[in-house]
Amino acid sequence: MDNYFEERNKKNIMQIRKLCDNLPTMIREFDMGIQQRTSTLTRLGYVRDLKIFCYYLSQRFEKDIKSLSIQDIEELDSFDIELFLDYLSDYKIDGKTYSCGEKAKERKLCTIRSFFKYFYKKNMLSENVTAKVDLPKVHDKGIIRLEADEVEKLLDLVESDDVPGMTSQQKAFHAKTKVRDFAILSLFLGTGIRISELVGINIEDIDFNTNAFTVTRKGGNKSILYFSDEVADALKKYLGWCQEQIEKNTEFGKKIIDNKALFFSSEGTRITVRAVENMVVKYAKIVCPLKKITPHKLRSTYGTELYRQTKDIYIVADVLGHKDVNTTRKHYAAISEDIRKEAATKVKLRKNDD
């Protein structure tokens, strides 16, 4: 799997088609209509949300799900959409019970708005009733991140030969992966990249002459980011270890010799998103058991520190790959308040006599 993102897109398309096979034809029509301006990951999310909406409508109209049509959608009013949002609080699909929180409800309403807007613009709906429904209020949560001493403890733990609570078998596995794990955590904490961006990096994307690397952002755009000498040292040590495995002709070395990925699993294949998530949680639970640390929280840790150091929200937005600076400002509003308070002390009205 040399190009992670091409493979991911193929899998997403296959999942979309599989889902649409069991849904009304209007869902497939909507998916086809937006594919030129929407990523496959977004389209897959839309189709999954619309599957739930169709299940709700099949009960509402007492019809087989595949027989639902745009004429059924035309009969809906804003109150029906509000009832659907209420339905999301506790519903069943395929025998499983689900419950959506406020953020999940907000996302699903945004999906339905896009769906209605698409058919309204095509003159297949006389009105976009979803425009009359307010988005659910989403309560902001505080940023969960690592403090400076926790970052140091986390990296020290990964480098350690003796991780608390590990069995002898787990210690043997740790001995084989700690150089890789240290490099992954260093890259997360030193650049703030997303987990999909990290998993998708190829060796050829790294340039140690400039301490730069290329990442594929959400939506498929490519960006060049930079890393510190600390991160460079961690990556070089890991790549040196990989090269050593190849030169020694170990079983692992044989598997990775023709693989272009930067980070590998113990099986010699490109490491997966799930494996990285599990690795981060494994170490973080030991260092800070009261915090639910995920790869995204490591991204928040970097964003927080970058904002504190630069005091420039636009730089943070650019480095993190936020299309809208307001997204960045919303997440780091509390830190903005700290910076504003600090700035207030810098302005002196009168010079000290001494």
Return the domain boundaries, the chain. 4-132, 148-343
Name which of 286, 342, 41 is nearest 165 in CA terms: 286
- Is the Cβ–Cβ distance between 70 and 125 less than 8 Å? yes
For residue 51, count CB atoms less than 10 angstroms from its CB and return exposed for 0-12, middle for 13-18, buried for 19 or more: middle
At the topology level of CATH, where does 4-132 sit?
A: DNA polymerase; domain 1 (1.10.150)
Segments in 248-294 forming alpha helices (H): 251-256, 273-287
Residue whose pair of structure tokens reads 């959400």 in the numeric block: 218
pTM (2 d.p.):
0.83
- Is the Cβ–Cβ distance between 52 and 88 less than 8 Å? yes
At the topology level of CATH, where does 148-343 sit?
A: hpI Integrase; Chain A (1.10.443)
- Is the Cβ–Cβ distance between 20 and 27 less than 8 Å? yes
pLDDT in tens, the chain (354 residues): 468 889 999 999 999 999 999 999 999 999 999 998 899 999 999 999 999 999 999 999 999 999 999 999 999 999 999 999 999 999 988 889 999 999 999 999 999 999 999 999 999 999 999 999 998 887 767 778 899 999 999 999 999 988 888 888 888 889 889 999 999 999 999 999 999 999 999 999 999 999 999 998 887 789 999 999 999 999 999 999 999 999 999 989 998 987 899 999 989 999 999 999 999 999 999 999 999 999 999 998 998 888 888 888 888 888 888 888 877 777 766 666 666 666 666 666 666 655
* Cα–Cα distance for residue pair 164/252, rounded to 1 Å: 27
CA 105 to chain centroid: 18
Look up residue 142 and give its DSSP letter. Answer: P
Residues 6+ apart with CB under 8 A from 238: 179, 180, 182, 183
| Tokens encoding 99 | 């419950």
Residues 6+ apart with CB under 8 A from 247: 253
At residue 27, the 3 state secondary structure works out as helix
